[in-house]
Amino acid sequence: MMIEDLQKISDAERAEAQKYEHHVHVCMETACIASRSDQVKQALTEAAERAGKPCRVKGVGCMGLCSAGPLVKVEPDGTMYKGVTPEDADEIVQKLGDSPVSRLECDTNVPFFQRQVKIVLENSGEIDPERIEDYVARDGYLALYTALTTMTPSEVIAQVAKSGLRGRGGAGFSTGLKWTTVAKSPGERKFVICNADEGDPGAFMDRSVLEGDPHAILEGMTIAGYAVGASQGYIYVRAEYPLAVERLKIAIRQAKRLGVLGENICGTTFSFNVDIRLGAGAFVCGEETALIASIEGRMGQPRPRPPYPAEHGLWGYPTLINNVESYANIVPIMRKGADWFSAIGTEKSKGTKVFALTGCIENTGLIEVPMGISLREIVFDIGGGIPDGKKFKAVQTGGPSGGCIPEEHLDMPVDFESLLQIGSFMGSGGMIVMDETSNMVDVAKYFMEFCMTESCGKCVPCRVGTAQMYDLLDKLTKNEATMADLQLLERLCDVVKYTSLCGLGQGAPNPVLSTLRYFRHEYLARIQEANHEAAFLTD
């Protein structure tokens, strides 16, 4: 594999694309396929053949507006169609190059599309994730080639460090620092792991990246392997994402055939392999030491840190663990430079963040925005506000370890520090909007039930504490709680938060704490209700 070979593939692919006057992109992601986009693609292909138009129909990754699927985009004019059915195929093909089919048209001139900055999702919706040639034609694997042939591992790490990239898994640890630690740790073998165990309910960013642009992850991981001196990588992905697993398998096979993965990559002495490991539905396996235990074929229980996986990880060897989105940022950083990346975002949080915007909101889907944007812009401009004329109540970020943010904090910039300050958490990027009909005590109970059942049972505060807190919340929702119960709940929050072994337990009280902080009156109302009922019974 030489640079000329990459160039050749890229040229051939572009020449092939130019043969067609029109390009029809059909979203082929889990959500759109659920709304029959596979049939839409089939119908469009047949319609194009029938009409004899110079048009190429291509299955692509997520285009963002998942709730309006199946989405179809027509290039080069950039028309977007929503809610397309197989029956619409002929009409769409006939109107190619003419005025668009207005009844299906989706206006792209709205903030949802205009306000986004795409780095991680740059190829999503543009390339066919099952064809490596398409990825190469968009300068894919060029960054890997350049890194391997012109840079030393420490130069690669320096560039990542300079970009200011922070881990996108939630905690926001500096990626450059992590890479440096692994590179410096002595070990005869080293490993690179991609954490694709996206367990937060309401989050699907990683699934979209894996389904829409799997090669970006492979390339990012290979660059990481070169930088830290590893020769084996693992992608730990949820078994609940069969399509993502399938596309990764295809991508790995294609990359090996092309010589950008496997032995002697790009004709250098560097070798790197990637294997897929399936998760089995345990939320705690998103925690890095539990994830390592799971790859080793054991129960996914975390262990105390330090030593950190960077020094003592998979089978005791130094191991680099990054999230899917972190790896997806590596290729653009290598290609466009650290300065370009660090110019986006805020002083301490660089670049962009992908969010899965869901819940009671007009535009449900996947968005990528620069760090520092305000929550208000996300919810009301990009998200289009709350449907059915209802009132906004809170937005929940950070999954079961995060918090609910009320209206008064909507103008806060979205970055790692600000979210922590108001009692929430960046998390992996799920953003669930709640309207006035949502009851916050119920929401807290919902998350506590989640943490209680997902607790691995290793440490007492989490195993027992979450169950006790759940019982108290249950009492509250049934209007049976007293003030003493509320005080006990608050004390328990403190104990579990500060004494649990891993992030699951430490974060479990957050939904309760944040709802208590901003919606205490709802808790009090439940207690008052309980008092009324008690008084009524004694009368």
Partner 1 sequence: MLRNYKKPAPPSDDKRWRLVEATMRRHGHDPNALIEVLHTVQESFGYLEEEALQFVAASLSVPLSRVYGVATFYHFFNLKPQGEHSCVVCMGTACYIKGSGAIVEAIEQEFGVKPGETTPDNKFSLLSARCLGSCGLAPAAVLDNSVAGKLEPQQVVERIREWTK
Which residues contribute to the site for partner 1 (CB under 8 A)? 30-31, 33-35, 65-67, 69, 198-204, 207, 239-241, 277-283, 294-300, 356, 358-360, 364-366, 396, 399, 430, 432, 434, 438, 446-447, 450, 454, 456
Task: Tell me the residue type at 365.
Answer: G
As a whole number of angstroms, the distance between CA 64 and CA 27 comes to 10
Query: What is the C-alpha to C-alpha distance for residues 485 and 476, in angstroms, rounded to an integer?
Result: 8
Q: Is the CB of 175 or the CB of 438 nearer to partner 1?
A: 438
**Choice between 66 and 492, CB closer to partner 1:** 66
Least Å distance, CB 277 to partner 1, is 7
Q: How far apart are CA 511 and CA 395, in angstroms?
A: 12
C-beta of 133 vs 435, nearer to partner 1: 435
Contact 169, 428 (CB under 8 A): yes
Q: What is the enclosing helix (H) or strand (E) of 232?
A: strand 232-237
Shortest distance, position 359 Cβ to partner 1, whole Å: 5
User: Least CB distance from residue 239 to partner 1, whole Å?
Assistant: 5
Nearest distance from C-beta of residue 52 to partner 1, angstroms: 33
Q: Report the alpha-carbon angle 33-35-36, nearest 5.
A: 65
DSSP assignment of 65-124, as one string? -GGGPSPEEEETTTEEE-S--GGGHHHHHHTTTSS--TTTEE--SSHHHHT---STTSST
Sign of the torsion formed by the C-alpha atoms of 516, 518, 522 and 524: positive
Taking the complex as a whole, how short is the minimal distance between the CB of residue 299 and partner 1, in angstroms? 4
Euclidean distance between CA atoms 260 and 426, whole angstroms: 34
CB of 227 to partner 1, least distance (A): 26
Q: Which is nearer to partner 1, 205 or 472 (CB)?
A: 205
Q: Closest CB to partner 1 among 325 and 454? A: 454
Question: Would you put residue 429 in left (φ > 0), alpha (ψ -120 to 50) or beta?
Answer: left
Q: How many helices (H) and strands (E) does the chain have?
A: 23, 14
Judged by beta carbon, residue 140 or residue 199, the one nearer partner 1 is 199
Which stretch of DSSP H or E encloses residue 16?
helix 3-18
| Three-state secondary-structure class, residue 272 | strand
Nearer to partner 1, 33 or 136 (CB): 33
Q: Between 106 and 136, whose beta carbon lies closer to partner 1?
A: 106
What is the nearest approach in angstroms of partner 1 to the Cβ of residue 204?
4
- Of 284 and 371, nearer to partner 1 (C-beta) is 284
Q: How far is the CB of 282 from partner 1 (least distance, A)?
A: 5
Residue 167 CB, shortest distance to partner 1, in Å, is 21
Residue with Cβ nearer partner 1 (66 or 104): 66
CA distances 491 to 454, 485, 487, Å, are 22, 10, 6
To partner 1, the closest distance from the beta carbon of 321 in angstroms equals 17
Closest separation in Å from C-beta 437 to partner 1 = 9
Relative to beta strand 22-27, strand 72-75 is antiparallel
The bridge status of strand 319-323 relative to strand 191-196 is parallel
* Sheet architecture: strand order including 365-370: 365-370, 352-359, 430-435, 392-397, 403-406
Instruction: State which residue, 254 or 396, has the beta carbon closest to partner 1.
Output: 396
H helix intervals, 117-241: 132-137, 142-150, 153-163, 175-184, 205-212, 214-228
